[in-house]
Amino acid sequence: MASNASDSIEQKPKIQIYATPSNEVTPFWKEKYERDAKKYWDVFYKRHQDRFFKDRHYLDKEWGHFFSDAEEKVILEVGCGAGNTIFPLAATYPGIFIHACDFSPRAVDLVKAHKDFQELKINAFPCDITSDDLLNHIPPSSVDIVTMIFVLSAVSPEKMHLALQNIKKILKPNGYVLFRDYATGDLAQERLTYKDQKISENFFVRGDGTRAFYFSEEFLKSLFQENGFTTEECGVCCKQVENRSREIVMNRRWVQAAFRLDGGNNEIHKTAKEAEDRYDIDISDGFAFEMFGISSPRDEIMEFKLRDWNFKIKLLSKEFQHTCKSTGLMLWESARLMASVLASNQTIVSGKKVLELGSGCGGICSMIATKTAHLVVPTDGDDKALELLHENVTTNLEESSLSKLHVKKLFWGNKEHLESVKKLSGDKGFDVIIGTDVTYVAEYIMPLFQTAKELISKDEGDEIGSRPALILCHIFRRVDETSILSAASQFGFQLVDKWPNNVNTENTSQSIIKSWFEGRNKEDDYENPALNIMYFHYK
């Protein structure tokens, strides 16, 4: 988006519109990752299908002693994914019956579409084991072995006990839980620690929105013991994975354990540590680099249709959007709403000089404004966003519209940038300044209005709706309305109207913004109740 620099007005420090570094993600994103966990995993399996994890043919080698007399056993695989555990098990022990569940319905569909899937031998169903009762799908106390391989780490630590209590309902007395998952100190955790991807202690979010908890032996043993399980074996495994062509060495750490529901003998004491030289890596090599953040983020094309417009926007891939430092590499809902408003209300920009602050890589508001505006200048402070923005406007606009549009770099308050942008307007300023989702970091609100003051036209129009205006569209996140209005007032801006609740501070006979929504096509509406529009005049 945009920011200050050392040579800025009043010598304010350089800033950029992205989240201030912190140890943890914000409460807003914590709640979103929890609420949309199923969606993120569905997207994961939509992209990777059955190619991410290797088939786990090591299970008989590592845990074969638990599968003695397996012909008579019933297995539950929690977090079955695309079937990388259940199909090797079914091939090794043809007589077993397997229940398989996963949080992602798409993953369950992949299991059912597998060439070796047989309904008589495999019962596959979607299930959130922290909330959906397993008894709806499995008879009580009927399962001999539950396998949990890289699955509990995806559950919030606060809900892990719910998963174990659910499993207890269907597990036979003295039945086993065979467990393998990420351990503290794993390469992936080390990489995530240095980014703003921490949710809570040892709990992180990856670039694709999926989450991972990293277990210590002490935590894991305590968790299972507190929920009625006895530890049969537990150990941390360490292995280096080397990519010689890229000269990269990855230190992988995971914990492997076996827990019994209650009582029983203690004949099995072999720890995972004793067998570490035999351990196989579950993740396919090519995808491992992607998961650990080693490979470069990739762009993707998103199609956005609106009235007569059909944009193909290149932006950052969804797998990386949620933790990317630059918020300008994605398309926000506020930009979609403002674009739809401009598309159906060209009078807002018709014949005017239009400036967009923090336009990001999409620039859809600026591109729509070129239809009738005299001049359009989309700006941003992020180089990658500007690079994609240049590409997007060139790809989507015809030559006649491109001649009216000038992409410029603008750190908010930077003197050199301000002068360069202002010259495009003939040094008289801009008639309309637009900003979508540029108000969510408190430190940047003052530079925002300071920059708007420098670049807005000081000419007064004959009518209230024709005067130079600053239009902000956003969701209130970290900065509330009172703080925004206070900063606006300090730099000479007065709130004239707002949506969805109009203010009519200048006694207009009709709300300016409300009229923008009259007669619009329903498909043009973005009905997010959290979106707001604020309409300012410079005093």
Rg (CA), the chain: 28
Which position has the token pair 């009229």?
Answer: 515
Quick one: average pLDDT of 419-446? Answer: 91
| Final residue belonging to a domain, choices 240, 263, 291 | 291
Structure tokens at 132: 């959906």
Quick one: average pLDDT of 246-261? Answer: 80
Greatest mean pLDDT among 22-31, 285-294, 452-461 lies in: 452-461
Mean pLDDT lowest for which of 430-444, 484-498, 513-527?
Answer: 513-527
CB 112 within 8 A of CB 88: no
Residue 254 within any structural domain of the chain: yes
Residue 3 within any structural domain of the chain: no
| Final residue belonging to a domain, choices 236, 258, 291 | 291
pLDDT of residue 269 exceeding 60: no
CATH number at residue 176: 3.40.50.150
pLDDT of residue 357 exceeding 70: yes
For the chain, the distance separating the N- and C-terminal CA atoms, rounded to the nearest angstrom, is 26
Integer Cα distance of 192 and 206 in angstroms:
8
CB 230 within 8 A of CB 174: no
Residues 238 and 218 in one domain: yes
Residues 441 and 403 in one domain: yes
250 confidence band (pLDDT: 50, 70, 90): low
363 confidence band (pLDDT: 50, 70, 90): very high
Q: What is the pLDDT of residues 450-496, one digit of tens each?
A: 999 999 998 876 565 679 999 999 988 778 899 999 999 999 999 99
Residue 511 within any structural domain of the chain: yes
Q: What pLDDT score was predicted for residue 165?
A: 94
pLDDT of residue 142 exceeding 50: yes
- The structure's pTM equals 0.50
Averaged confidence pLDDT in the chain: 80
Between 309 and 275, the higher pLDDT residue: 309
Q: What pLDDT score was predicted for residue 197?
A: 81
pLDDT of residue 277 exceeding 50: no
Mean pLDDT lowest for which of 126-140, 259-273, 294-308?
Answer: 259-273
Residues 356 and 270 in one domain: no
Quick one: average pLDDT of 159-182? Answer: 93
163 confidence band (pLDDT: 50, 70, 90): very high
Integer Cα distance of 24 and 460 in angstroms:
46
| Final residue belonging to a domain, choices 265, 291, 317 | 291
What is the maximum span of the chain, computed from C-alpha positions, in angstroms? 91
Q: What pLDDT score was predicted for residue 40?
A: 74
Residues 215 and 255 in one domain: yes
Q: What pLDDT score was predicted for residue 237?
A: 83
Q: What is the pLDDT of residues 53-67, one digit of tens each?
A: 666 766 777 887 888
Residue 1 within any structural domain of the chain: no
Residue among 158, 164, 161, 183 nearest 262 (CA):
164
Residue 2 within any structural domain of the chain: no
Residues 316 and 375 in one domain: yes
Residues 286 and 421 in one domain: no
Q: What pLDDT score was predicted for residue 325?
A: 53
Residues 245 and 357 in one domain: no
Residues 225 and 334 in one domain: no
pLDDT of residue 410 exceeding 90: yes
442 confidence band (pLDDT: 50, 70, 90): confident
* SS (HEC) of 263-307: CCCCCCCCCHHHHHHHCCCCECHHHHHHHCCCCCCCEEEEEEEEC
Number of domains in the chain: 2
Residues 46 and 193 in one domain: yes
Residue 351 within any structural domain of the chain: yes
Q: Residue 273: which domain range? A: 27-291
Residues 281 and 187 in one domain: yes
Residue 152 within any structural domain of the chain: yes
DSSP 189-234: HHHHHTTT-EEETTEEE-TTS-EEE-B-HHHHHHHHHHTT-EEEEE
Between 417 and 519, the higher pLDDT residue: 417
pLDDT of residue 10 exceeding 50: no
> How many CA atoms lie within 13 Å of 312's alpha carbon, on the beta-carbon side?
7
Residue type (1 letter), 507: N
Residues 328 and 453 in one domain: yes
- Beta-carbon contacts of 60 under 8 Å, excluding residues fewer than 6 positions away, are 67, 92
Classify residue 439 as exposed, middle or buried by CB count within 10 Å of its CB (0-12, 13-18, 19+). Answer: buried
Residue 4 within any structural domain of the chain: no
Residues 117 and 144 in one domain: yes
Residue among 399, 465, 469, 389 nearest 433 (CA):
469
Quick one: average pLDDT of 248-257? Answer: 79
